[in-house]
């Protein structure tokens, strides 16, 4: 049934396949972003772009937005004049659309007129940037309302404006027209209000009323029916209203770009918004750039969502890696850990946003080692993953994902059993790029294990490094040496 739905969606819509960028803004050598394709399941059409501040996430969205016909040309300082600037968009049917800028010769003179070889894609791309201007007053002319194409034109102009192409006052006027377009259609307005109240229960209703000849004002009522000016809304609510409005105008459009959807939002609202976007991406492509782990969902990845991580490689150049369910190590983690929710919760998802991570086998390894560092006042140059990976056999998958995404990583193993052989294999495989160490103890703490031999239960006592949460004097120096080794590695 899922495959039939997937086929039907693709027959009705031609989705984006990939975007390649070369010599545009901070990008030098060609990098490729792969886009997730909706298949009727939650999150399947969601592409999540992650990376540090100023790493190039917004550049990707801007490059993609350039293929909207109304978005104009690239700025001079966005191009590399001694190289060929190229941005290429490909779709699922094999068609490609290009922006190409000619390079200069060695004397700095253009070899040709700086003429853009440009082809407009047939897509209506809605781009909501992270610079979200808001005022509760805006201009709305009578001819705008009378124009039959008003609803569509407003859509295009507001999202162009949100790129920063227009002055802030004009940008705000365009968003006011978006709200007016929603407000004048009762069915759309009711659906929009219901959606907003799903996030903000006390947001009861809103109106757009004439203040002067061409000036209008946005007001809203809370659940107690008290009316307020729109300027009293918090930044998070304004952000939420702008995001939700995208999905209540021109529903036939199927590509949405959102830069930092988490801006100003409470963590619980972020979770709800992530679920909302996951639901919407069942049948449309949504591409977001985010710093929030709430917008990375393991179930979405299982259904086909894609992570695109932007990072600086060893030479300092911008690089990009794509991660989806086709990557076997990720598939292994998702399929094996779904019965252990804590292994895949928001703390674990912070891993995708980290640059330096150490993997340990279990949650006690993490908590006791962190406790020791806190007591000894040793700052860490890295983060321990989640609550531990859930056993030594999982570490290979996490190291493989780290290598793929450009995350600097290390791992700390217990001694003994099959783990020794496994450790040796990983040292051979990853020892040159990651920092791997094995403890001399079988476990981080004293514990009793029950073993069955010849049908008889035997209790085996294991002596570890901690007893009842207190580190043993002989173990402290050795464990701190391990920690300092990891710290030194991550400083390189």
Tens digits of per-residue pLDDT, 353-392?
999 999 999 999 999 999 999 999 999 999 999 889 999 9
Q: pLDDT tens digit string along 109-148?
A: 333 333 344 445 567 788 888 877 777 777 765 444 444 3
d(CA 393, CA 396): 7
Q: What is the mean pLDDT of residues 225-245?
A: 87
Q: Picking from 17-26, 85-94, 259-268, which range would have the lowest pLDDT averaged per residue?
A: 85-94
Q: How confident is the model at residue 37 (pLDDT cuts 50, 70, 90)?
A: very high
Q: What is the mean pLDDT of residues 296-325?
A: 92
What percent of the chain stands above pLDDT 70? 79
Predicted pLDDT at 35: 97
d(CA 357, CA 407): 8
Which residues, other chains included, contact 139 with Cβ-Cβ below 8 Å and sequence gap of 6+? 173, 176, 214, 215, 216
101 vs 359, more confident: 359
154 vs 55, more confident: 55
Predicted pLDDT at 476: 96
Predicted pLDDT at 7: 54
Check: CB of residue 63 under 8 Å from CB of residue 87.
yes
Nearest to 285 by CA among 33, 87, 13, 6: 13
d(CA 51, CA 180): 36
**DSSP tag of 79:** B
Predicted pLDDT at 151: 40
Predicted pLDDT at 11: 53
DSSP string across 181-200: HHHTSHHHHHHHHHHHHHH-
337 vs 466, more confident: 466
Predicted pLDDT at 75: 63
**DSSP tag of 126:** E
Tokens read off for 366: 């993490």
d(CA 456, CA 194): 63
**Over the chain, what is the mean pLDDT?**
82
Q: Picking from 82-91, 130-139, 413-422, which range would have the lowest pLDDT averaged per residue?
A: 130-139
The H or E element spanning position 125 is strand 125-128
Residue 167, pLDDT > 50, answer no
Q: What is the mean pLDDT of residues 404-432?
A: 94
d(CA 309, CA 353): 9
Residue 337, pLDDT > 90, answer no
CATH number of 1-123+254-326: 3.40.50.300
Domain borders along the chain are 1-123+254-326, 130-253, 340-491
Q: How confident is the model at residue 321 (pLDDT cuts 50, 70, 90)?
A: very high
Nearest to 185 by CA among 196, 193, 175: 193
Predicted pLDDT at 213: 66
Which residues, other chains included, contact 98 with Cβ-Cβ below 8 Å and sequence gap of 6+? 86, 87, 88, 89, 117, 118, 119
For 223, other C-beta atoms within 10 Å of its C-beta total 12
Q: What is the mean pLDDT of residues 305-318?
A: 90
Q: How confident is the model at residue 3 (pLDDT cuts 50, 70, 90)?
A: low
Predicted pLDDT at 253: 57
Q: What is the mean pLDDT of residues 59-80?
A: 70
Q: Picking from 309-323, 365-379, 397-411, which range would have the lowest pLDDT averaged per residue?
A: 309-323
Q: How confident is the model at residue 71 (pLDDT cuts 50, 70, 90)?
A: very low
Tokens read off for 228: 């307020």
Nearest to 265 by CA among 294, 245, 235, 222: 235
Which residues, other chains included, contact 323 with Cβ-Cβ below 8 Å and sequence gap of 6+? 301, 306, 307, 308, 309, 330, 401, 404, 405
Task: Name residue, tokens 């809370």.
Answer: 222
232 vs 83, more confident: 232
Sign of the Cα torsion 351, 355, 359, 363 reads: negative
243 vs 106, more confident: 243
Task: Name residue, tokens 């990375």.
Answer: 296
Predicted pLDDT at 475: 96
346 vs 352, more confident: 352
Q: pLDDT tens digit string along 245-302?
A: 889 876 555 789 999 999 999 999 999 999 999 999 999 999 999 999 999 999 999 9
Predicted pLDDT at 221: 84
347 vs 51, more confident: 51
């Amino acid at each position: 049934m899922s495959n039939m739905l997937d086929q039907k969606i693709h027959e009705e819509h031609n989705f984006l396949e990939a975007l390649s960028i070369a010599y545009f803004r901070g990008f030098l050598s060609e990098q490729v972003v792969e886009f997730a394709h909706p298949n009727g399941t939650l999150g399947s059409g969601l592409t999540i772009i992650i990376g540090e501040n100023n790493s190039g996430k917004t550049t990707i969205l801007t490059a993609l937005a350039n293929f909207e016909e109304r978005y104009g040309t690239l700025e001079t300082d966005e191009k590399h004049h001694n190289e060929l600037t190229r941005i290429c968009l490909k779709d699922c049917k094999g068609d490609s659309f290009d922006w190409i800028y000619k390079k200069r010769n060695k004397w700095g003179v253009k070899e040709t007129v700086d003429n853009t070889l440009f082809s407009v894609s047939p897509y209506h791309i809605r781009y909501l940037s992270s610079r979200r201007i808001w005022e509760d007053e805006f201009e709305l002319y009578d001819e705008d309302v009378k124009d039959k194409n008003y609803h569509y034109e407003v859509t295009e102009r507001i999202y162009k404006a949100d790129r920063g192409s227009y002055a802030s006052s004009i940008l705000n006027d365009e968003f006011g027209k978006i709200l007016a377009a929603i407000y004048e259609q009762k069915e759309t307005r009711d659906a929009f209000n219901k959606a907003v109240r799903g996030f903000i229960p006390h947001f009861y209703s809103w109106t757009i009323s004439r203040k002067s000849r061409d000036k209008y004002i946005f007001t809203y009522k809370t659940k107690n029916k008290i009316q307020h000016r729109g300027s009293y809304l918090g930044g998070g609510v304004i952000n939420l209203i702008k995001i939700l409005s995208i999905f209540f105008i021109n529903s036939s459009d199927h590509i949405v770009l959102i830069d930092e959807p988490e801006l100003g939002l409470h963590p619980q609202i972020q979770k709800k918004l992530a679920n909302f976007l996951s639901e919407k991406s069942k049948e449309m492509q949504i591409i977001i750039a985010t710093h929030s782990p709430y917008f990375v969902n393991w179930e979405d990845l299982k259904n086909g969502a894609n992570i695109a991580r932007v990072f600086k490689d060893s030479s300092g150049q911008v690089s990009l890696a794509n991660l989806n369910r086709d990557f076997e190590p990720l598939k292994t983690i998702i399929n094996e850990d779904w019965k252990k929710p804590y292994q895949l919760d928001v703390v674990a998802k912070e891993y995708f946003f980290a640059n330096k991570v150490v993997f340990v086998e279990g949650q006690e390894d993490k908590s006791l080692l962190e406790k020791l560092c806190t007591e000894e006042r040793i700052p860490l140059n890295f983060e321990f993953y989640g609550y531990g990976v859930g056993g030594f056999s999982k570490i290979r998958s996490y190291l493989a994902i780290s290598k793929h995404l450009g995350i600097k990583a290390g791992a700390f193993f217990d001694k003994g059993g099959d783990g020794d052989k496994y450790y040796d294999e990983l040292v051979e495989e990853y020892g040159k790029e990651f920092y791997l160490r094995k403890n001399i103890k079988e476990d981080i703490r004293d514990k009793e294990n029950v073993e069955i031999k010849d049908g008889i239960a035997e209790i085996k006592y294991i002596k570890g490094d901690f007893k009842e949460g207190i580190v043993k004097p002989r173990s402290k120096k050795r464990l701190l040496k391990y920690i300092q080794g990891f710290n030194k590695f991550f400083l390189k």
